[in-house]
A and B are shown apart, each in its own frame.
Chain A
Amino acid sequence: MNFPKELKYTRNDEWIRMEGDEGVIGITDYAQDQLSDIVFVEFLVDVGESLEQGKTFAAVESVKAAAEVYMPVSGKIIAVNEDLPDAPEKVNSDPYGEAWMARIKISDPSELDDLLDADGIAKLERDH
């Protein structure tokens, strides 16, 4: 399982890459593997909306499962990856690169302390 070192992670398998006070969010390699072939990505927020940590901003679907994607930290949506809904398979092939989902301006940097680092998520006890 691939968990790039420079990212931070949630227990729900979202990742965030910090770029100044902005963050880029997506779902992890483990998540795409569990869901298997992704067929649909839907953004449930509009650009400009602000959401709290833990709130749903997107949904992904595979043939056999559907999952919500939550905000790793609170922030305002600056951009969503408009290309992704037309190419959902990118979530499987490049979950950390081309399949970024949203770019946010974070509102409370202290929330980043709640998140796991690459080692932390690699060691996470999984139910499966």
Chain B
Amino acid sequence: MFLPHTDADREAMLRTIGVKKIKDLFEGLPGEHLFPELDLPPGVTEMEALAELQHIADANETTGELISFLGAGAYNHYSPAVVDSILRRGEFYTAYTPYQPEISQGTLQAIFEYQSMIVALTGMDVSNASHYDGATAVAEAVNMAYHNFRGKRTKVILSPGLHPHYRETVHTYTVDSNILLEGEETPLDSGPEALIPLIDDNTALVAVQYPDFFGRIHRFRELIEAAHQAGALVAVHVNPLALGLLEPPGDFGADIVTGEGQSLGIPLSFGGPYLGIFATRQQYVRKMAGRIVGETQDARCQRGFVLTLSTREQHIRREKATSNICTNQGLMALAAAIYMSLLGKNGLRQVAELNFHKAHYAAAQIATLDGFELVYDEPFFNEFTVRCPRPVAEINEELLSYDILGGYDLGQTRAGLENHMLIAVTEMVSREQIDIFVDALAEVAHD
């Protein structure tokens, strides 16, 4: 379909190679089962494909059609038009990993700028060029801490406030190792200090989330101090948009910061591709997995950028590499860089404040409803947990008839959280829409 070859081309090429027909090129292939008939629908033209895909897309209800209050690790934010227009430039999206720096300065400088803005946002010293997503970034933080202590410390403490998908991913990654995972059963209404008794001299890492999965903003200074006293590292997982407002983890003692960068201008896209953020302190830069772009010069004294510290990576270290990561999320890091450049220091603060105030307005209104109760006292950013008078699944089903996408059903993630809804409010929702939601909740509160 995308083949430029004419019959004349084929003929000339086969002649040069010295065979009569294309099938001759496969003569050496061993075995049976060659040239199977593939039971696939016959090929179609571009026009037909577009029509079919449009038809499939139409079978989905989007955040354009529904007023969305669903978060839980992926958020409905506004992506400025500039972001996608740059992402559609073929020089960016059809390029490969910048292994040949002389013809990849666009990608390399953009990633260097991304790294810098992540450093600025998180208050850390150095960032890599990205991981696949927040979950795998947390798993890599566990990996990094384990290798930092060369396997001599085997305990990793996971806060119950970490997204369940992140914790599950860490379990999958560590199943064949001798890493002990503790802390997830700690009661949710105790603060981060409840993890302190678990810290000992076998602890490699304590991992927390900020704001946590339930929306809460915790203070981690005490926990971090206790971890450092025991010689352990601390990883703080962030929503980078919240850092437009909140004190960055680099300022309160984090050793590693991971994050889910989807909220930086990346569409929801049914779960991916997203952006794993990873930053750390200068002293751990060589322990950090993933690609890193560094600044240098050429022979004419021109500034240029290159992938550096490559000897940590799989293509050189092979089985001695601390991670196997190769392809990462280059285009998504570019999207985040454009988003952060466009908004800048004031714009990011502005959008964070919109999220904060709208979420607090919604929470205050919902708190006045009979049968609904805000569960936690801690401050929150743009997400909060509400106890509902009915199962969340039932409420959400009814809300759909109001064209509202309700919050996340926390009953699926942990015992004792039945009838608990996690509600997210972003800059995309107007006051009117929040009022409609609150009224709808009042109406569906009873069967």
Q: Could you tell me the distance in whole angstroms from the C-beta of A107 to the nearest C-beta in chain B?
A: 22
| A65-B311 in contact (CB<8A) | yes
Report A-chain residues with C-beta under 8 Å of the C-beta of B286: 40, 42
Contacts A40-B286, A66-B320 given; does A61 touch B311 at CB 8 Å: yes
| Interface residues in A22-73 (C-beta closer than 8 Å to B) | 39-40, 42, 44, 61-66, 68
Q: Name B316's contact: one of A39, A40, A65 (CB within 8 Å).
A: A65
| A40-B150 in contact (CB<8A) | no
| A64-B316 in contact (CB<8A) | yes
Q: Name A68's contact: one of B310, B312, B320 (CB within 8 Å).
A: B320
Q: Is the interface of A mostly helix, strand, loop or mixed?
A: strand
| A44-B150 in contact (CB<8A) | yes
| B150-A66 in contact (CB<8A) | no
The reply to whether the CB of B317 lies closer than 8 angstroms to some CB of chain A is: yes
| B150-A63 in contact (CB<8A) | no
Report A-chain residues with C-beta under 8 Å of the C-beta of B310: 63
Q: How many residues of B contact A (CB 8 A)?
A: 8
- Cα separation A44 to B148 with both chains bound (whole Å): 10
- Cα separation A64 to B310 with both chains bound (whole Å): 8
Q: Could you tell me the distance in whole angstroms from the C-beta of B153 to the nearest C-beta in chain A?
A: 14
Q: How many residues of A contact B (CB 8 A)?
A: 11
- Cα separation A96 to B310 with both chains bound (whole Å): 27
| A40-B320 in contact (CB<8A) | no
| Interface residues in B129-148 (C-beta closer than 8 Å to A) | none
Report B-chain residues with C-beta under 8 Å of the C-beta of A39: 311
Q: Could you tell me the distance in whole angstroms from the C-beta of A100 to the nearest C-beta in chain B?
A: 22
Report A-chain residues with C-beta under 8 Å of the C-beta of B316: 64-66
| Interface residues in B309-328 (C-beta closer than 8 Å to A) | 310-312, 316-317, 320
Report B-chain residues with C-beta under 8 Å of the C-beta of A44: 150
| A62-B150 in contact (CB<8A) | no
Report B-chain residues with C-beta under 8 Å of the C-beta of A40: 286, 311
- Cα separation A40 to B320 with both chains bound (whole Å): 16
B150 nearest in chain A by CB position = A44
Q: Could you tell me the distance in whole angstroms from the C-beta of A18 to the nearest C-beta in chain B?
A: 29
A66 nearest in chain B by CB position = B311
| Interface residues in A82-108 (C-beta closer than 8 Å to B) | none
| A62-B311 in contact (CB<8A) | yes
Report B-chain residues with C-beta under 8 Å of the C-beta of A65: 311, 316
Report B-chain residues with C-beta under 8 Å of the C-beta of A64: 311, 316
- Cα separation A117 to B249 with both chains bound (whole Å): 55
Report B-chain residues with C-beta under 8 Å of the C-beta of A66: 311-312, 316-317, 320
| Interface residues in B288-329 (C-beta closer than 8 Å to A) | 310-312, 316-317, 320
- Cα separation A65 to B311 with both chains bound (whole Å): 6
Report B-chain residues with C-beta under 8 Å of the C-beta of A63: 310-311
What are the interface flags for B207-231 relative to A under an 8 Å C-beta threshold, 1 for contact and 0 otherwise? 0000000000000000000000000
- Cα separation A66 to B315 with both chains bound (whole Å): 11
Q: Could you tell me the distance in whole angstroms from the C-beta of B324 to the nearest C-beta in chain A?
A: 15
B318 nearest in chain A by CB position = A66
A64 nearest in chain B by CB position = B316
- Cα separation A62 to B316 with both chains bound (whole Å): 11
Report A-chain residues with C-beta under 8 Å of the C-beta of B320: 66, 68
What are the interface flags for B314-350 relative to A under an 8 Å C-beta threshold, 1 for contact and 0 otherwise? 0011001000000000000000000000000000000
- Cα separation A66 to B320 with both chains bound (whole Å): 9
- Cα separation A39 to B310 with both chains bound (whole Å): 11
- Cα separation A65 to B316 with both chains bound (whole Å): 6
Q: Could you tell me the distance in whole angstroms from the C-beta of A71 to the nearest C-beta in chain B?
A: 16
Q: Could you tell me the distance in whole angstroms from the C-beta of B312 to the nearest C-beta in chain A?
A: 8
By CB atoms of chain B within 10 A, which of A42, A63, A68 has the most? A63
- Cα separation A125 to B311 with both chains bound (whole Å): 27
Q: Could you tell me the distance in whole angstroms from the C-beta of B147 to the nearest C-beta in chain A?
A: 11
Q: Could you tell me the distance in whole angstroms from the C-beta of A44 to the nearest C-beta in chain B?
A: 7
Q: Could you tell me the distance in whole angstroms from the C-beta of A101 to the nearest C-beta in chain B?
A: 17
- Cα separation A27 to B280 with both chains bound (whole Å): 31
- Cα separation A12 to B78 with both chains bound (whole Å): 57
Q: Could you tell me the distance in whole angstroms from the C-beta of B288 to the nearest C-beta in chain A?
A: 14
A42 nearest in chain B by CB position = B286
Q: Could you tell me the distance in whole angstroms from the C-beta of A55 to the nearest C-beta in chain B?
A: 12
Binding site for B on A (CB under 8 A): 39-40, 42, 44, 61-66, 68
12 pairs across A/B with beta carbons < 8 Å?
Answer: A40-B311, A44-B150, A61-B311, A62-B311, A63-B310, A63-B311, A64-B311, A64-B316, A65-B311, A66-B311, A66-B320, A68-B320
A-B pairs, top 5 by smallest CB distance, nearest first, are A66-B311, A61-B311, A66-B317, A66-B316, A65-B316
Binding site for A on B (CB under 8 A): 150, 286, 310-312, 316-317, 320
Given contacts A63-B311, A66-B311, A66-B317, 9 further A-B contacts (CB under 8 A): A39-B311, A40-B286, A44-B150, A61-B311, A62-B311, A65-B316, A66-B312, A66-B316, A66-B320
